[in-house]
Amino acid sequence: MIFAAAVFGQGIELPVPQKTGGTPVFDAMSGRLSTKAFTEKEVPLQALSTILWSAYGFNREDKRVIPTPLNKQHLSVYVFLKDAVYLYDAKTNKLIKKADGDHRKLVGMQDYVFSAPVNLLYMADNTAGMGSATPISVGCAAQDVYLACGSLGLGCVVRTGGVSENAAELRKVLKLTNRDEPIAAQTIGYAKKTEDAKKN
Ligand SMILES: Cc1cc2nc3c(=O)[nH]c(=O)nc-3n(C[C@H](O)[C@H](O)[C@H](O)COP(=O)(O)O)c2cc1C
């Protein structure tokens, strides 16, 4: 287990996320890019907490950093690490363990997915009835993660490839129901400084 100090029962206590400061927003936008080659270096828990807050944390008592249609808040964010899969619980700021083992192969097809230390999976509750509005919220989360990663010195790429293709196996491993709909994934880690990193 990589985050031994923070482990509780079946999960991980996240440190308080960074909610202020960082790279000025226009500088972060100017530097935004997709990374497609990663080192295996672990992402510090502090950075992971900040990234998850950027994606789907609360910035008001009951509202999120990202907008959702009709404030449905019908997304969830799964975190695929080398040793297990977790569900981000923004209210308690914890990762709830959902499955043991390395399941990164279920959230992508490209090689970099399987060696990068963190992959997020954005899931929607399709009973919210938000249809085509749902991916817009996921896009907002993904863009926040791009900007947060840039500010934290990390690379990332949002992906749809390999997500729906693996949905059946994902359902088994994460014990999902028919209402859970995987929308997109996002790979996160330290960029490898090679020519691969520039491939798109
Ligand atoms: C909705 C969406 C789906 C994407 N899916 C993939 C994917 O499956 N695999 C991948 O390597 N990149 C994927 N990308 C990243 C794009 O390849 C990348 O954004 C594009 O090449 C432009 O590069 P940039 O992000 O550095 O500007 C996706 C991007 C978006 C917005």
Q: Mean pLDDT of all residues in the chain?
A: 94
CA 183 – ligand 1 centroid, Å: 14
pLDDT tens digits, one per residue of 20-68? 999 999 999 999 999 999 999 999 999 999 999 999 999 999 999 999 9
Residue 173 to residue 171: CA distance in whole angstroms: 6
Domains and CATH numbers, the chain: 4-198 (3.40.109.10)
pLDDT(152) > 90:
yes
Structure token digits, residue 15: 């440190």
What does the DSSP 8-state code read for residue 175?
A: T
**Residue 157 Cβ contacting ligand 1 at under 6 Å:** yes
Whether pLDDT at 6 is above 50: yes
Arithmetic mean of pLDDT, 8-14: 87
| pTM for the structure as a whole | 0.94
Residue 198 has pLDDT above 60, yes or no: no
Cα of 148 vs centre of ligand 1, distance in Å, is: 17
Ligand 1: distance of its center to the CA of 69 in Å?
A: 24
